[in-house]
Amino acid sequence: MLIAGAHGIISLSIPLEEGRDQKKLIRDIKIDNRQPWQKQHWRSIISCYNHSPWFEYYREDLSGLYETSFEFLLDWNLACFDWTAKILAWPVGVSFTESYVEEYDSAQWLDLRNKILPKNYKNFEPTRYRQVFEERTGFFPNLSILDLLCCEGKRAGYFLQ
């Protein structure tokens, strides 16, 4: 997750038990909870967004995510996805396959696999909104949805259309 700090972009990553280049199903990737990553992430989030217009509105629910222990990365990702969809009031359903399907029928499914990846996320034209430290650091495009939510609140959905 990339967030905007007072001195630039801060990258928050979750430590994994076997490192980041694992060749296994995402449902089997375990978080290394021996490291205090949740506490470190939460402190960074508070430091970056405590004075943003909407942080206080989301603070309690968001802190619940960081106080809950997750064994698997997929469980953390789904909890964050569910929280975000709830905040944005998006009636989005998630389903899982039992086996890998190389291509889906585009008339029946919206397949977003490999659409937004660390290697190509900068290819998307950013929508500008007012960021917390923008006067000091300039605008940072393509940050986490958390940045948009803390800065724009319920209007965030309009920026994503």
Q: What is the pLDDT of residue 109?
A: 83
Angle at 153 between CA 68 and CA 48, to 5 degrees: 60
Report how far residue 157's alpha carbon sits from residue 149's, in angstroms, rounded to the nearest whole number. 9
Read off the DSSP letter of residue 126. Answer: P
Q: What percent of the chain has pLDDT over 70?
A: 96
Q: What is the mean pLDDT of residues 14-21?
A: 91
Q: What is the pLDDT of residue 121?
A: 67
Q: What is the pLDDT of residue 118?
A: 67
Q: With contact defined as beta carbons under 8 Å apart, do 53 and 156 qualify?
A: no
pTM of the predicted protein model: 0.85
Of the two residues 98 and 121, the one the predictor is more confident about is 98
Q: What is the pLDDT of residue 79?
A: 95
Q: Which secondary structure element, helix H or strand E, spans residue 124, and what is its range?
A: none
Lowest mean pLDDT among 3-7, 92-96, 105-109, 156-160: 92-96
Binning pLDDT at 50, 70 and 90, where does residue 104 land? Answer: confident
Binning pLDDT at 50, 70 and 90, where does residue 158 land? Answer: confident
Q: With contact defined as beta carbons under 8 Å apart, do 137 and 6 qualify?
A: yes
Instruction: Evaluate if residue 111 carries a pLDDT over 90.
Output: no
